[in-house]
Each structure stands twice: as C-alpha cells, then as structure tokens.
Amino acid sequence: QVRNLTDNTEYSDDTTLTPGKEYEVFAYYHNNASSSLNASGTGIATGAFMRTQMPSTVKAGEEARITSFVGAANAKHLDKDGKNLGNQVWDEAYGKNTTGGDIALSFVSGSAKITSKGAVNGKTLPDALWGNNGTLLGYDALDGKLPGCLEFSGYVTYRFKVNQPNFTVEKS
C-alpha cells in the first residue's frame, strides 16, 4: 500500500501523485509455513528477499504501478491448478498523475526500514531493494532465513518523492 507522507494520509491501494510531495510504501511479508516445521528446518525460508519496482517517470493522466515482490530460494508460488509460477509473489499499489505534464519518481536513499519482532527490527535495508535481485530479509539477521508462521512476519516501508520540471527559459 502507499500513502502521501507529506500530508499524512492513510495507506491505500491508490493515491494521487503530487509534485513536491513525499510518499511511503508499506509491504508486508510472511512465511506461511507452520511453526512446527521450524525445528527441523523444513519450514524456514532460505534466501528470503524483497524487491520493489516502479517507473521513473509517469506521463500526464497515467498511473504508476508500484510493485513489491517477496520470495525465497526454496519457495514455490503455485496457482489454483498447482502450476509452479516461480519463487516469488507480488502486490501492487497505484499512483495517478493528474497534473498536466510528466512527473518523475525517485526513491529516497536509505529510507527502507524493516519492522518485525526479531533482531532485524528497525534496521535500514540497503538500496539494493530497488535492484533486480532485491535485498535479503530475515528474523535474527538480514541473512535470508525467515522462520515459518505469523510471529516471524514483518513489513518494510520505504519512501519516494515526486518531482516535476516546472520552469521556463527565456533567451534575451
């Protein structure tokens, strides 16, 4: 979900993008394995990661799709027929450009924070979150090991800014 941080709005799946404002994205993660599988290690996600993507520019009247991906090296994303769709799941929020011109979206470096009941709580995630491979999650450390069940879940927040060139040049 996304919210206008500047105006302190509520999180939602949709927002209007306003130049000069800062926005915050909320991305929840949870290893759905039973906690009874953690002792044997079979319930622990390995290589657990998160990555995010969004466009760098949004044309006038269009929407930006802000997508967060969560996965693990030993995970399977199965569709309703049991077909393996890969090792990650995703969700998105949308930001609409209602201005008369193009806008630019830029991540705020160092703004990604992880929240959980584990030792990683409050840590800053590296800017690799916005790269193709993302960054590792975890519970005791940011090492990609994420035990199964609700008590080991958490969320990541990060920020981005909206900018719009708004000047004219006059030659005299």
Give residue 78's pLDDT band: very low, low, confident or very high (50, 70, 90).
confident
pLDDT in tens, 5-23: 999 999 999 999 999 999 9
| pTM of the complete model | 0.90
Q: 12-29 burial, b for 16+ CB within 10 Å, e for fewer?
A: eeebebbeebebbbebeb
Q: What is the amino acid identity at position 74?
A: N
Cα gap 39→50, rounded to integer Å: 24
- How are beta strands 14-17 and 88-97 bridged, if at all? parallel
pLDDT at 76: 83
Question: What does the pLDDT average to over 83-105?
Answer: 93
pLDDT in tens, 21-60: 999 999 999 999 999 999 999 999 999 999 999 999 999 9
Contact 68, 89 (CB under 8 A): no
